[in-house]
Amino acid sequence: MTEAAAVEIFIIGNEILNGEIQDTNTHWLCREVTRLGGRVVRGTVLGDELDIIAEALQAALARGTRVVFTAGGLGPTADDLTLTAVARAVGGGLKMHEQARRMIRKSYDELHDKGILEVGGLTPAREKMAWLPEGAETLVNPVGTAPGVLLRVGDAAVISLPGVPPELKGIFNSSMQPFLRETFQGGLSALHSLTVHCNDESLLEPVLSRVAPAHPGVYIKSLATRPGEMAELDIFLTAVGSDRAEVEALVDAAVQDLKVGLDALGFAYRDKPAQP
């Protein structure tokens, strides 16, 4: 089975680190990337510090990560530093991108025409969002004003998205789709979960430690709770690849093996419906 493309996610913003805003973008991106057949290997939160962001991006690319997502730091204010950091990480500079400039102007004009903003058009602060890393491509933002940015670095890519969740999702689900289809090439995932009547994860160790090595193509993870908190816990089984029948067969085999083990230990369980 083809190895899944490695993906890293960087969430950028002091407001995340100081607890003002809760990060939901990591969870959403992890789920969507896994569904495509990618493999998220890291999720990191970084503050609005140029050197820290640039160094983290350089390290991700040096590790051979195929796709690096950044979320946040694309706005018009001085502390929005993501694109400068991306440029620094790849040893380049920023350049006025005329297509991005037109997109930003159009977005602000439309907001003005709708009576949402008092002033349309471009200001120096708004125009700042059109300075992109050299060689970057724009990704249309159907929800907000800051375009997404795609920068190809050899066989890898850095994708910079706004931190506002509806904007991030809007770009991912629209203008980013050609890149995703190209990168993951029909990749997909299969997921099955079981709810086990047990509130002590350690009691499941005998079967989990046997089943996991027997099915190396399947990631098996139990979701623990505090002892006594709930009488149930979930076990998730996931495989990624490019062939639907193959990944489903891998997961099905692991599920059946797991059920045999749970039966032997005397634990009751039920299949859990997949999340939409």
Q: What pLDDT digit, counting tens, does each position of 157-190 carry?
A: 999 999 999 999 999 988 998 898 888 876 677 8
Ordered DSSP codes for 70-85? EES--SSSTT--HHHH
pTM of the predicted structure, to 2 decimals: 0.77
Please identify which residue in the block is written with the tokens 């998730």: 236
- With a cut of 50, say whether residue 273 has pLDDT above it: yes
Please report, for residues 191, 194, 204, 221, the alpha-carbon distance to residue 232 in angstroms, rounded to integers and kept in the order given.
Answer: 19, 10, 12, 14
Average pLDDT over residues 65-71: 97
Least confident of 1-15, 16-30, 53-67, 134-148: 1-15
DSSP bridge partners of 191: 238
Looking at residue 30, its amino acid is C
Percent of the chain topping pLDDT 70 = 94
pLDDT at 141: 92
Q: Can you tell me the mean pLDDT for 238-266?
A: 90
